[in-house]
Structure 1
Amino acid sequence: MSSEPSSGKGAGPAWRWGIVGVIAVVALAVALWPRGSDGEGNPGRQWPTGADSGVSSALRAEAGLAACPRPAAGAAGNGPLAGITLECLADGRPMDLAAATAGKPALLNLWAYWCAPCAQELPYLQQYAQRAANAITVLTVHSDPDEAKALSRLSGLTVKLPGVLDGDSRVRAAVGAPAVLPISVLVRSDGSVAEVVVRAFNGVEDIANTVAGELGVAA
């Protein structure tokens, strides 16, 4: 009985498997390599805009939401919300939450498209915002990653308040709120949190009284 030489056919498969292993290692390294930075405190995340976000411009137009507030010149974000950048539902652009709301009291309403009490409360917030005018920033914070359903829900409720997408609930974590919805975070003009309201408001007067008591804003 004879055996094949160690060189020749036996060496070919071993050499090819070695090449395959090198390619697999390189592919894994590329998959795990950081994809850059958004430039706003969230390394590795690239902010989608317009069609790149997966939400059609037609859906945004149908929702017709008000533009998100933008930071005033030289505004700096302070308090527990500092460093949080979220996507504006109106146009898909990133928004520095603390900087954009600096200098004026704010009511941040945490909600989700599947939350029934949120759907009852949101129209009250719309009415309150119109009544309070420029005395306070009222901003919705969709605490679920499904942006398309958020826009569709707001469109159905005819709520046009400016809103942001917070798919991983960073706002809730930052203020130490429980994992329930809806929640309203009342923020002072200096960025500090005056109160976290863990319940749904039952009307415009309820909102006005609560905000007046905690933030001193009469409306």
Structure 2
Amino acid sequence: MTIDKQLILDAFHFRHACKQYDPSKKISDEDFRFILETGRLSPSSFGFEPWKFFVIENRRLRELIHDNAWGAKDKIMDCSHFVIVTVRQPDTLLADGDYVQHIMRDVHHIPDEARKLRQNFYRTFTEQDFALTANPTAFYHWACRQSYIAMANMLTAAAMIGIDSTPIEGFPLEKMNDLLVEQGLYDPKEYKLSVMIAFGYRVNDPREKTRQAFEDVVEWVK
């Protein structure tokens, strides 16, 4: 299957960090499920999918985010859909942990012998290659990098069907995470906040997209 390359580039030119959303326009259930599905199908290191997406429809929770996340303040009450992306806590991503075993056994359907080999390979990666197990903060950041792959795919998928979006890091991380935990959104032993995303329809057209020249960011090594 192929998709016209210009259509893909057009979507990248269309996409921008939307500053103001039209509260009268809502994304259809079908379209938003499509966007979420591109996040679900996204690649992750070892295929362990260390993320969970929370679609925030509750107005009281949106108001809480509005009052505490400065990057979401001018968007969250007007955008059609708002997503909180969390990642799994380091303790749940250990090679011997239940979650990793569940993914390999029940999702990937890896036979027992091969699963042991993959488990040992992953253990070497987390303990030695990237030295993640000795540094929970580094382990958290590694999981966040996986979640950003999913987010990027959702942003692009949205743009390809004419829907605007805004990736949001504008919040005090620990405070915002604690507030969401206090609201019962997730168990802090399992998940931690990574990033937020607003989706909807723009009010105004953005200024022309600006990027560095191709030659300034690409170097061919022969």
| TM-score of the aligned structures, taking structure 1 as reference length | 0.31
**Structure 1 or 2: larger helix share?**
2
| TM-score of the aligned structures, taking structure 2 as reference length | 0.31
